[in-house]
Structure formats: structure tokens, C-alpha cells
Structure 1
Amino acid sequence: MAVAEDKTAPKASHVSDPALTPFLQQRFDPAEYLNATLPSLSLPGGASRPLKSGNAASLAHLSSQTQDLLSQLNAHTTRLSAILTQLTDDILRGGARLAYEVEVLRGETIGLTETLTDDLKDDIEKFLPGGIMLPDKQPTESLKSPTSPTHVDPQPSDTTPDYLSDLRTLTTVRTRLESVIKVFGEAMHWTLPPSEVSLTSSLISVSAPEPGADNASREEKGREFAASLRSEISDLITGDPDAGREKAETRIQALRDLATVWKGTAEEKARGKFVEGLVKLAEDRQSDVERSRERGQQQSERSGSSVQKAQTSAVQQQKSGGGFLENLQRIRGFVEQ
């Protein structure tokens, strides 16, 4: 997948580096950028079917290229951040000077207006019958034209200063650089067991993970991370019966979007299958929560009914017991007589 080239040259010299060209495009996708910049992963045993034929790299070579790209992006981010800070300081200093100059111009305009309307009023009426007619609202907003004192055409001021355009460009590039670095970090953190890749990458040959300490470590880390994701989805639903399902769906959608980084590689199906497994897990946990809630309601209803029956029985026993005591007292009084 190649990133479309931008034929328009960048306006600012700060982003003239060809490495920053993809970040200046209006439609920028971090996953597409990573897929276009880095080669496909070549897995041992011929299990992989890379998207770019003839451009597959081993895991060690791909890791080296990834570190180089990350270092390059970090260097650009640091440089652009320093330039952005410098431009911001220049704007703040320029804004203070501009405010001072505007205030001085405002005072001079007010003084000129008072001179024309008060001190030189009689002299101006000799050359301009009726004198100078100023507008009622905000008379000092604009200077009067010598040929047309009563009407002033507004001057167009829709041009954006160059430093503001450069500032917007640098901010956009910096934001997109940070988004790529963030996606890169999340993708590197999401480890996958090699056995899952080998089982889902081919329909004909199924190969077991290669023996070795490094492969066993990757297998263990991948399974631990998968277990932590399943536990996270389960805890989101069971920990918050009301909003847990929505939180779990948001987390699963984030993983589904992150899985597009491996689009066209041997790990695409494995990661897609894992995400669908999380969806099934979320549905099962939600069903368990609903059944538990229904059982709780039924037990509460049965408990309330039992309490009510016990209270009724106690009242009846008290009534029957009171009658027996009364009869006993009557018998005792009859015997004493």
C-alpha cells in the first residue's frame, strides 16, 4: 500500500524534508503510513504471504528498520517542537508590540478627529459646507478619506500572515507525528503468540512454533498479553453492569482499528480472529451479568414473599396463643373457686 504523493510543495521551509511529505496530506492514516514505509514480515517456513512481493524482511531486519524510523520521527518531532516554541514566542512578542502600536495609532486618530471637528471646524466649513459628518457608531474605527469625508470603504483584510500559516502547518505535522508514534507504540506492545500466527496463516500446512528460548519467550509473552486483554474486557463488563458493555465495545473497537496496521500480512487473520474472540467473550459476560441480575431480582422477590408469610404466621400464632392463655386462666380461676 503506497501513500499518495503530494504534488504541492510545502510552503514552510521547516517541513521541506521529504520524510515529512506524507504528514502534510489532507487525508493521513497512520496505519497506511506504516504499511507503506516498512516492509512486510517474512515468517519462517513459508507461512507468510506478504503484501509487497519481494519486499519481505526478517523479524530482526524489520525491528532494526522500525527503530531507525522511530528515531527519525522522534528527531523531527523534537526539531518541530523547538521551532513551534520559537514561533509561539515570536507571536507573543509581536502581539505585544502590535497592541502598543495600535494603541498609539488610536490615540493619534482620536487627536486628529478632535482637531478636525473642534479646532478646525470653522476653517473646514469654509471649504466644505456642512463640515465633516462622522458616523454615530465608533467614529475612531477608520480614517476619513480626503475626497469623501462621510463615507469610508472597508479595506479587505482576509489575508492570513505567513507565520500563522506556518504555525498551523507545524501543529498539524506535530500532531500527526505524535499519532504515528502512539500507534507504533501500541502495535509493538500488542504481542501475539507465534503459534497463533502459524495456525491461521495457512490453510494447507500447519507448522508448530520453532524450538528455542527466544520463541518460547515470545509465545509466553503473547499468551500473557492475550489473557490480560480478555481479563480487561471481562472486568469492564462485570465491574460496571450499567455502562460496562459500552466501555468494552469501545476498547474492542480500538483493538480492531489497531489491527489494521497488520493488514495484508501473515498476522492479519490471527489478530482479526482474536478480536472476534473478544467480541464473543464480551457477549458471554454480558449474558452472565443479565442472568445474575435476574436471579437476584427473583431471590429478592422470594425473600420478600417469605418474610411476609412469616410475619402473617407470627400474627396468627400470637392470636391463637392469646386465646389459649385466656382459656387457661379461666380454668384456673374456676378450680380455685
Structure 2
Amino acid sequence: MAVAEDKPAAKSSHVSDPALVAFLPSHFDPAEYLNATLPALSLGGRPARGTSVSLADLSSQTQDLLSQLNAQTTRLSAVLTQLTDDILRSGGRLAYEVEVLRGETTGLTDVLKDGLKDDMAKFLPGGLSTDATKDGTASSKSPSETQHSHGAAATEAMQDAAQPLPSSATAAAAAAAAAAAATADTTPDYIISLRTLTTVRTRLETVIKVFGEAMHWTIPPSDISLGSSLISVSAPEPGSDNASLEQRGKDFAAALRSEIADLITGDPEQGPAKAEARIQALRDLALVWKGTAEEKARGKFVEGLAKVAEEKQREAQKEREKTRAKPQRSGSVKEKQAPAKEQGRGGFLENLGRIRGFVE
């Protein structure tokens, strides 16, 4: 019997072996596969055909075919196990990145809705209208109505500026109010839009900078408890990506500790303040991971940096006290030795006077 003529193409390189093409169709039939692959059996009482073989030969070919299929099954099982391990190993990191992106999206939404509300009110007192009816109403205003509204705003500004003031400042205040009203009336719409876009761009650059610093701050996976992770994975294997991430996290932590120590020991006056500012910046950056599995680990690391800074400050203070105490000790010894010499000199003169009196 022949196998079906339609041979689907392999969708993966793992099953591109020609021996596996017969297994790819969805309507695979084991009996058809064996009939098409193995030769026919020749019976003893019938004449042998051209492709017929004896029972011993057929048994040998069947064993060879089963050995090949067993080897393919073992290889595909190993590939499937490796792919499963990769999916489980990268699942935790993928879930973490999704949480970070979700938090950044939420923060950006809050900034655009709440943080920029005051800025919008400064440049656009009426706010940004998204209602089509309001847009249509605004566009349907005649030039005379627009001019009238501008004139009313200028009149109100002049009335506010006309409050009782000292005579020396009245003219200057009135001129400033008139200039402000004229500027508000003559500012083009595209300038207002550019100011709004500039503010939005500044906020976005700040978010991008914070996100870049957060991605640069790596932490060893061993510092994160498996119980708090979203997906439990196995420990890092030698030579794997997790091992390199572990080493990079330890190197970055050692570099931060060395930086804090160098700031304090390098500049005794301004060093502690710089170290405190650096630690506070890291403490603020750690808020990015609030509510995630890495929040406690990063907070603990920042507190460890604060303890390192305190220890270095105490050591520097002790060194300064020792340096100040050395000159004082040497001076006190000299002062104590000087009166002793004077006392000895006075005793000699007294003895000499006694001898002279005795001789006389």
C-alpha cells in the first residue's frame, strides 16, 4: 500500500528529517506506514514476488526500523524537555517584565491625567477638549465674538491691576498687567501646543531615564526568595544565563559599595553628603519595584549601603581623632619635662648657697 501523496512541509527544524515526514500528516495511519515501509512477506507454499522477503529478513528489517524510530523518539523527547525548561526558566523573567511595563504604563497614564493637569491649566485655561460638540461650538464662533472675549479678558486683567497701590509702583504694575494681557491675547495656538508638547516630552524623558537606570541596576537572582516569585524555577545552572546574571548582579553590588566607600574616604568634608545623596537616589529608584518580588531584596540592599556609609564615617572620624591627638600628646610630654629641669636647677643653687655659708 502507498502512503498518501500530500506531504506537508515541516514547520520546525527538529522534524525536518526525511524519516519523520510520514508522521506529519494529521491523518497518519500506522498500518499504512508499515505496509509502505516494509517489504511483503513471502509464504512457503506460494511463489515469491520481486519485493517479497522471508520471515527472518522481514523481522530483521522491522527491528532496524523500530531502532531508528526509537532513536528519533529519544531525540525529540530531549528537545521537548529542553524547550520546556527554557520556557519555565524564562517565565519568571517574562512575567516580571510584564509587571514592570504595566507599572510604567499606569504611571505614565497617571502623569498624563493628573501630573500635567496644572500645566495644561497654565497654558490652556479651558483645558484640552475632546468632545466633538465643544470643538464644533468653538469653531463656529465668529471673529467678533472671539475679539469680544479677548477684550473682556483684557478688561478683567486691567481691573485686577487697578487696585490701590503706592504711587511709585502704580505705573509699573499697570504696564506689566497690560503687557501680560497683550501677550495672552497675541500668543498663537501653535506656541501653546509647542509648550504643551515640550512639557510632555520632558516628562517622558524623565520616565525613560528612570527606566534605563532601573534596567541597569541588576540584582542576583539568589537574593530573591523563590516563594515570592511568580513562577518557581530551578536554581541557576553553570554556564546558563542565570549564572551570568548572578555574577553581573554581584559585580554591580560590589561596585556600588566601593563607590560609597570612595565617596566618604576621598572627601572627608563633602563625601558623606554625596554618599547620602547617592543612597537616597537608589532608595527612590527602588520604588520602581514596589509590589514586585524584588522589592524586599532591593530595599535590603539599600539599607546595607546605608550601614556601610555609617561604618566608613565612623572609621574616618576615628582616624581624624587619632591624627589630632598625636601633636597634643607630644606637646604635653615636653611641658612636663621642662618644670623638672627647673626644679633640678633650683636645688643645685640652694645646695651651693648652703656650702658657701658653711665655709664662711
The TM tier, using the shorter chain, reads 0.3 to 0.5
- The two structures have a TM-score, normalised by structure 2, of 0.43
- The two structures have a TM-score, normalised by structure 1, of 0.46
Of structures 1 and 2, the one with the larger relative CO (CA 8 A, separation 6+) is: 1
Please tell me whether Structure 1 or Structure 2 has the larger radius of gyration of its CA atoms: 2
Name the one with the larger helix percent.
2
